[in-house]
Amino acid sequence: MHEALVSWRNAAATATYDTTGWDPAAPVSLVTEPDGARARFTAAWTDAAPVRLRGAFAESELVSFGALLDTNLYQSHDVELVLYQNADWTGPLWTSGRAPMLPSLIATEDLALEDPRKFDGRLYEDDFFAWPAHVYRFPPQVYCRSFEWRVWSNGIHADLSPAAGFELDSVWMGDGLLLELRAGTRIAVSLAASSRREGGYTVVEPGGASLRTATIPLDLLDGDVADQLVTMTKRIDGIRPGAFVFDMDDAAASFLYGFLFRLQAEVGREWANGPDLSDTSLTLEEWS
């Protein structure tokens, strides 16, 4: 059984951000929209004083999912998310702890001793660079007034050389709905997709659209969960993106198949299996 997460309200889009250290030509305000325009941090940082992306809410928000979307990080770069009780980044409530952007994703015991991945379990560079670099963290449903992402990196270029600063397209902070994915769940990746990163690295010819899709069977799903999904379809209505994580306990699968989405198909309830059950599916298409 896989436990996926779908989130449709991004409280970070309306947060107030601390501009300290961010490039005026690529300001931190750019993180509120997933439009491909990256914010860039250019101030000097140290191990004791990392890059800080700080946002504060107008009132307490429930957060069970946080993400940095389309970054220039490498898989071994350290990241931490901290949630706070107060709007001035005081009164810590929860921390993810400092950890690599991605944990070890492969079984290193099966690799030859000469393999460069033997001791850290990282993906091959070509595999890692095939997709936008998203960072996911999962707080245990915390009401907070502010948040802080800490990043120990200037980012990298596609050739692994250091970049001029940490960059990202957008931030997601919000609550989510957990879905148990049953047998028959199908995640499809369009072969015509172009997953381009800034820096000149492309898997296929540039100009194509990234069209990862996820079709989630909801057979025998509890009726109240189906109702929440219907409400979600009305809230985002094709105008705003939602966030999809394939498996909260499988970092490799979520890296490959997690994305911002737009709804592609309807979702609803059918009473053929009883008044409290759903017999339908949800189809998500990657936001572009």
The b/e string for 77-101 (b: 16+ C-beta within 10 A; e otherwise) is bbbbbbbbbebebeeebbebeeebb
Distance from C-alpha of 11 to C-alpha of 205, rounded to nearest angstrom: 35
Task: Please report the sign of the dihedral spanned by the C-alpha atoms of residue 192, residue 232, residue 69, residue 128.
Answer: negative
- Three-class SS of residue 112? coil
Q: Identity (one letter) of the amino acid at 19?
A: T
Looking up tokens 């397209």 gives 169
Nearest to 250 by CA among 98, 102, 121: 102
What's the DSSP call for residue 57? E
Looking up tokens 């980012």 gives 155
Looking up tokens 């028959």 gives 184
What pTM, to 2 d.p., does this model score?
A: 0.86
Instruction: Tell me if 69 sits within 8 A of 176, measured CB to CB.
Output: no
pLDDT averages per 10-residue partition of the chain, 288 residues: 86 97 97 93 96 98 96 93 98 96 65 54 71 91 97 90 94 90 72 52 44 73 72 75 88 83 71 60 79
Instruction: Tell me if 189 sits within 8 A of 106, measured CB to CB.
Output: no
Distance from C-alpha of 146 to C-alpha of 84, rounded to nearest angstrom: 5
Question: What's the pLDDT at 267?
Answer: 66
- Three-class SS of residue 87? coil
The b/e string for 170-207 (b: 16+ C-beta within 10 A; e otherwise) is bbbbbbbbebebeeebebebeeebbbbbbbeebbeeee
Distance from C-alpha of 163 to C-alpha of 158, rounded to nearest angstrom: 9
The angle subtended at Cα 165 by Cα 288 and Cα 106, nearest 5°, is 65
Q: Identity (one letter) of the amino acid at 288?
A: S
Tokens of 175: 């609550």
